[in-house]
Amino acid sequence: MLAALILATACTHHDKVDPLRRSRVDGINKEAFLNRYRDPQLCIALADSALAYIADSLPVYDDGVLRALNNKAFAYFQTTRYPEALAIVEQIEKGTADLKSPNADIELVIARLLKARLLQRSGNIADSYRLLYDIERSHTLARSRQNLLYNYAQSEYYITSLVLNYHYRNDSEDDIRSLLEEVESRRSDLRVDFAQDMALNYALAYGWQTAGESLTALDYCDANLDILDLPDAFCNYHYANTLQMMASALKSTPGAVPPDSVLALYDEARMRFADYGDPYQMLGGVTSTARYALLIGDTAKAHSVLAEWRNDRGSWKPFAAPKMELGYFDVLLRSRMASTPDEARRWYEHHSELQDYVNAAGREDFALQQTLESATRSGRWKTVFIITLSIVAAVLATLLVLLLLASSRLRREKRQLEAANRRDVERIANVETALSVMRHDISPFVGYLSNPQLPADLREEVVGKLVHTFDNLKQWTSLSLPQGMAFNAAEFPLQGVMDEVERQVPAPADGVALRFTPSKLRLWGDRALVVILLRNLVGNALKHTTEGSVTVDAGCDEDGKMIHLRVTDTGSGMTADQQEQLFRADRTLPEGSEHGFGLILCRYIVRRHDDHTRRGCRIWVESTEGKGTTMHVILAAPAES
Q: Each residue of 491-527: pLDDT tens digit? A: 999 999 999 999 988 889 899 999 999 999 999 999 9
Q: Please, which residues bridge with residue 622 across strands?
A: 630
Q: What is the mean pLDDT of residues 353-378?
A: 73
pLDDT surpasses 50 at 9: no
Q: Phi-psi region for residue 632, left (φ > 0), alpha (ψ -120 to 50) or beta?
A: beta
What was the pLDDT predicted at 494? Answer: 96
* Banded model confidence at residue 147, pLDDT cuts 50, 70, 90: confident
What was the pLDDT predicted at 246? Answer: 93
Q: What is the mean pLDDT of residues 34-45?
A: 94
pLDDT surpasses 50 at 627: yes
pLDDT surpasses 80 at 91: yes
* Banded model confidence at residue 387, pLDDT cuts 50, 70, 90: low
Whether the Cβ atoms of residue 165 and residue 176 lie closer than 8 Å to each other: yes
Q: What is the mean pLDDT of residues 473-494?
A: 69
Q: What is the mean pLDDT of residues 620-626?
A: 92
* Banded model confidence at residue 12, pLDDT cuts 50, 70, 90: very low
pLDDT digits (tens, 9 = 90+) for 262-297: 999 999 999 999 998 888 889 999 999 999 999 999
Q: What is the mean pLDDT of residues 474-480?
A: 58
Q: What is the mean pLDDT of residues 235-261?
A: 89
What was the pLDDT predicted at 162? Answer: 85
The residue that leads in pLDDT, 16 or 585, is 16
pLDDT surpasses 80 at 470: no
Task: Report the share of the chain in percent with pLDDT over 90.
Answer: 39
* Banded model confidence at residue 555, pLDDT cuts 50, 70, 90: very high
**The dihedral sign for the CA sequence 87, 93, 95, 101:** positive
| Of 124, 113, 117, residue with least CA distance to 365 | 124
pLDDT surpasses 70 at 564: yes
What was the pLDDT predicted at 33? Answer: 94
Helix (H) or strand (E) holding 621: strand 618-624
pLDDT surpasses 70 at 475: no
pLDDT surpasses 80 at 373: no
| Of 323, 201, 222, 305, residue with least CA distance to 263 | 305
What's the mean pLDDT when you consider all of the chain? 81
| Of 555, 574, 569, 553, residue with least CA distance to 513 | 569
Distance (Å, whole) CA 600 – CA 584: 7
The residue that leads in pLDDT, 423 or 258, is 258
Distance (Å, whole) CA 262 – CA 134: 40
What was the pLDDT predicted at 172? Answer: 53
> Which range, 62-66, 111-115, 361-365, is most confident?
111-115
Instruction: Give the other-Cβ count within 10 Å of 373's Cβ.
Output: 11
Least confident range of 395-399, 481-485, 519-523: 481-485
Least confident range of 96-110, 301-315, 397-411, 552-566: 397-411
| Of 245, 251, 248, residue with least CA distance to 225 | 245
The gap from C-alpha 49 to its chain's centroid, in whole angstroms, comes to 31
The gap from C-alpha 350 to its chain's centroid, in whole angstroms, comes to 38
Distance (Å, whole) CA 391 – CA 68: 27
What was the pLDDT predicted at 559? Answer: 83
The residue that leads in pLDDT, 300 or 482, is 300
pLDDT surpasses 70 at 53: yes
Whether the Cβ atoms of residue 517 and residue 554 lie closer than 8 Å to each other: yes
What was the pLDDT predicted at 314? Answer: 61
* Banded model confidence at residue 483, pLDDT cuts 50, 70, 90: very low
What was the pLDDT predicted at 594? Answer: 45
Whether the Cβ atoms of residue 230 and residue 194 lie closer than 8 Å to each other: yes
Q: Can you list the alpha helix ranges (DSSP code H) found in 296-321?
A: 299-313
* Banded model confidence at residue 153, pLDDT cuts 50, 70, 90: very high
pLDDT surpasses 80 at 396: no
Distance (Å, whole) CA 524 – CA 421: 24
* Banded model confidence at residue 165, pLDDT cuts 50, 70, 90: confident
pLDDT surpasses 60 at 371: yes
Whether the Cβ atoms of residue 572 and residue 626 lie closer than 8 Å to each other: yes
Distance (Å, whole) CA 440 – CA 597: 9
The residue that leads in pLDDT, 376 or 389, is 389
Residues 229, 230, 232, CA angle at the centre, nearest 5°?
Answer: 110
What was the pLDDT predicted at 293? Answer: 94
Distance (Å, whole) CA 299 – CA 607: 48
